[in-house]
Amino acid sequence: MNLWENIFKSKKSSAQEAKDRLTLILAHERAINVPYMEAMKQEILEVIKKYTKAQKIDIKTDSNQDFNTLEVEILLQK
Amino acid sequence: MNLWENIFKSKKSSAQEAKDRLTLILAHERAINVPYMEAMKQEILEVIKKYTKAQKIDIKTDSNQDFNTLEVEILLQK
């Protein structure tokens, strides 16, 4: 799980914030044809918003030659 | 994106299979109290199943002292 330690540690601004955060990552190779990806992402985000009543959701998308990724960081309500 | 190359490469059994795969990871620190986590996971999986009409979904959960993770691997229908 060093992967997660690295991801969380590289981003946290305080210990408290780190504890109240969920991270979701969705990834696929660019070569796949997934015409429904946008709609599916939106629906997954709706589910997360509904449950977490999130204060703040940060969404990052990234792509390179091989992969497309969606990274969602949710600051949870206290 | 070396992260994703590593994740995909370490698991693929063939180039074709790698191309037809989506990966979703959900992670949070163990210290967070998220009583709705199970219900939220199930609902996210339902969304994924609905869109992908997946042939096969592998779900792995892992936890250590610091983190809980849910990793979902979806083999897409051709």
Parse chain A into domains and list their residue ranges: 21-75
State the average pLDDT for chain B. 81
Look at residue A1 and give its three-state secondary structure.
coil
Find all residues with CB under 8 Å of B65, minimum gap 6, and list them. Answer: B30
- Quick one: average pLDDT of A3-22? 64
Residue A14, pLDDT score = 59
Class of A21-75 in CATH = alpha beta
A43 in reach of chain B (CB within 8 A): yes
Q: Give me the phi and psi of A8, to 5 degrees please.
A: -70, -45
Distance from CA of B23 to the nearest CA of A (A): 5
Q: What is the pLDDT along chain B (78 residues), one digit of tens a residue?
A: 456 666 666 555 555 555 688 899 999 888 887 889 899 999 999 999 999 887 788 999 988 888 889 999 998 876
| Residue among B47, B57, B62 with most chain A CBs within 10 A, to mutate | B47
Residue A30, pLDDT score = 84
A45 pLDDT higher than 50: yes
Please give the model's pTM, rounded to 2 decimal places. Answer: 0.78
In this predicted complex, what is the ipTM? 0.77
Q: Which fold has domain B22-75?
A: Cell Cycle; Chain A (3.30.1070)
